[in-house]
Amino acid sequence: MAETTLMQPKAAPGTIPGLRGIAADWASDQRAFKNVSWGKAMMWIFLLSDTFIFSCFLLSYMTARMSTTVPWPNPSEVFALNIGSKHIPLILIAIMTFVLISSSGTMAMAVNFGYRRDRVRTAALMLATAAFGATFVGMQAFEWTKLIMEGVRPWGNPWGAPQFGACFFMITGFHGTHVTIGVIFLIAIARKVLRGDFDRERRGFFTSRKGYYEIVEITGLYWHFVDLVWVFIFAFFYLW
């Protein structure tokens, strides 16, 4: 009987087989990020680390709420507004959520027009996104002011469990800081786009390469992440 020889697949030229090859690819950026720019890859890594932080905050909030023996304040009552003669629960939070989710739409369109090299529409949509974000932060400041005037503090509140104030200020404050940073970043990039820095290869932050409109998409990644985190905060903190 003729012996059957098993043909082993040959590795592509220049590659290292086995686990050593996997380690070499990740270490030298030959495979893992071959088609992804460093700016986009680093933004994804940052967002991943930020996801862990927000997850810890929300898990801590759920643990505090389920373990406390003191009644937890009812969010529908705490975050209600009196408009005219009507007591409307969560009306401000609903408007804030609508504003922030709408900003994701304008940001997505800004990325689309950015890759089309449409400077005016890209900058206008980024500024519209920044306006939505600033409106959200303004309404959040109103919410904070209202609760502080009603006696809510990080160490207590007049409606029940003292952990409520600490959880509220920690989670919403951390998220609001992210939105504020995003608004500043949006305005800065929109100014560069409108001024034509990317087309003229004007030296400066994020404008060292001609036509480098990918920074608009990177900004969009951050903004969509901020919006997504708010959906979880809205669900766990305000609706639960």
pLDDT for 147 equals 92
DSSP-assigned beta bridge partners for residue 153: 156
Q: What is the mean pLDDT of the chain?
A: 85
Going from the C-alpha of 236 to that of each of 58, 113, 148, the distances in angstroms are 8, 35, 21
C-alpha–C-alpha distance, residues 22 and 45, integer Å: 19
Looking at the predicted structure, is the pLDDT value of residue 32 above 60? no
pLDDT in tens, 92-146: 999 999 999 999 999 999 999 988 889 999 999 999 999 999 999 999 999 999 9
Domain 35-238: which topology?
Answer: Four Helix Bundle (Hemerythrin (Met), subunit A) (1.20.120)
Residue 197 burial (CB count, 10 A)? 21
Per-residue pLDDT band for 201 (boundaries 50, 70, 90) equals low
Helix, strand or coil, per DSSP, at residue 5: coil
The HSE-up count of residue 5 (CA atoms within 13 Å, CB side) is: 3
Helix, strand or coil, per DSSP, at residue 86: strand
pTM over 0.85: no
pLDDT in tens, 163-177: 999 999 999 999 999
Going from the C-alpha of 7 to that of each of 4, 10, 18, 228, the distances in angstroms are 9, 9, 17, 50
